[in-house]
Amino acid sequence: MHINPPVVMNREDVLPSATHMGPVTLLVGDLDALTAYYRDAFLLEVLRHEGERVALGRAGTELLVLRRNKDLPPNQPRSAGLYHTAFLFDSEADLATVLVAALQYGRTFYVGSGDHAVSQAFYFTDPEGNGIELYADRPRESWQWHNGLVRMTTDYLDPVEFLREHLTDEAREKLASRATRHTALGDQPAAVGHVHLQVGDTGTARDFYVNTLGFEITQELGNQALFVAAGGYHHHMAMNTWNSLGAGARVPSLGLGKVAIVLPDQDDVSALVDRVKSRGVEVRDDGAVVRIDDPWRNLIEVSAVHVP
């Protein structure tokens, strides 16, 4: 089958190809329980614990920040906010290892799985209702593009068959013992591959995330879902209305605290600030981190890998 490369839009205001997602911050009610959940179910490491804030990650890289706020009410399922945080693993073997750890965890909530053509994914919900995706990409050369849009499917993915094919004997042995299960993934890294949001409508999401921030559209599902990315990735962010059609601005609640986007250097951040301001969107810029609220008051934080 012929594979078409992505069509890069001829615009000066697109985000640079090296753009990637930073850690997601969640506002939580029970910091100890959520810390244990992400540590033990998904083999994330506690990198820092400072008062009411815990940072977890892999191989020294922050992927998730939990901040305790007991005064906030729970997030409402049909409001705007987080749909899921998607943790990307380097290989199917790494994904299989974490999947088994998650399924073994006594208080986990398994939602399902999907073969998306560009990736293979498994879904969970944490004890406070925050969605989680664990996934591994298929090789980029196998992705199929047509007129700038990537083919993504939601086909059945048999978790038993996936584990039979990809779980290694070494990982299985380590996961079988409480003393060694936390070493089952070794020092293998992971990343926040993408962040998926619930929004009130995809047209407003397109105007903000594409026309203002500078992502490029990689797929659309009518007026139900929008997928956007930089640099020809299948998606760094997605927005859907499946549970939240017509939702207005968020009120303070538990759930999503902020989404972090990381650009290659400070010049890229400055260009984004100029573009956002030119469209009349408020920007808070302290010289190192730029904070912008999307139309539903989801906090977007933009910074550079290299700050002069």
Question: Could you read off the pLDDT of 152-207 as tens digits, one per residue?
Answer: 999 999 999 999 999 999 999 999 999 999 999 999 999 999 999 999 999 999 99
Check residue 136 and give its pLDDT: 98
- Other beta carbons within 10 Å of 262: 18
Nearest alpha-carbon partner for 83 in 242, 249, 197, 251: 197
Residue 172 CB burial class (10 angstroms; 0-12, 13-18, ≥19): middle
What mean pLDDT do residues 36-41 have? 97
Residues 6+ apart with CB under 8 A from 142: 3, 118
Residue 288 has pLDDT above 50, yes or no: yes
pLDDT computed for residue 8 by the predictor = 42
Kindly tell me if the per-residue pLDDT of 119 is higher than 90: yes
Q: How many residues does the chain have?
A: 308
Instruction: Go through the domains of the chain in sequence order and give each one's CATH number.
Output: 20-306 (3.10.180.10)
User: Does pLDDT of 17 surpass 90?
Assistant: yes
pLDDT, mean over the chain: 94
- pLDDT tier for residue 11 given thresholds of 50, 70 and 90: low
Q: Is the pLDDT of residue 107 over 70?
A: yes
Report the predicted TM-score, pTM, of the whole model to 2 decimal places: 0.95
What is the model's pLDDT at position 210? 98
Which of 32, 87, 37, 94 has its CA nearest to residue 62? 87
For residue 259, pLDDT over 50 is answered with: yes
C-alpha 269/C-alpha 283 separation (Å) is: 12
Measure CA 227 to chain center: 12
